[in-house]
Amino acid sequence: MKMKYKSMGGLDVKNGRLVNDREPGVSGIERAARIKKSMCRARRVDEIADGIELAEGRKNFYRL
């Protein structure tokens, strides 16, 4: 008997067996933690970039 469907929501049929090709599940708490961590990193990068920009401005101001 031949199956009509080759894929069922991330489950592929290969050699008569279902192979799970789905992405691993991520809970809402884990997703929120990742978002918070990425926001903290972005804030740090912005602060460092602002500091470098201020330092360059001061350097150019004192050269005048």
13-59 pLDDT, tens per residue? 788 787 877 777 778 898 899 999 999 999 999 999 999 999 999 99
How does DSSP classify residue 25?
Answer: P
Going by DSSP bridges, is the β-strand pair 11-14/7-8 parallel, antiparallel, or unpaired?
Answer: antiparallel
Vertex 10 angle, CA 26 and 14, to 5°: 135
Those residues with Cβ within 8 angstroms of residue 44's Cβ, 6 or more apart along the chain or in another chain: none
> pLDDT value at position 39?
97
pTM over 0.75: no
* CA dist., res. 53 & res. 59, Å (int): 10
> How would residue 5 be classed by pLDDT, with cut points 50, 70 and 90?
low
Return the DSSP state at 53: H
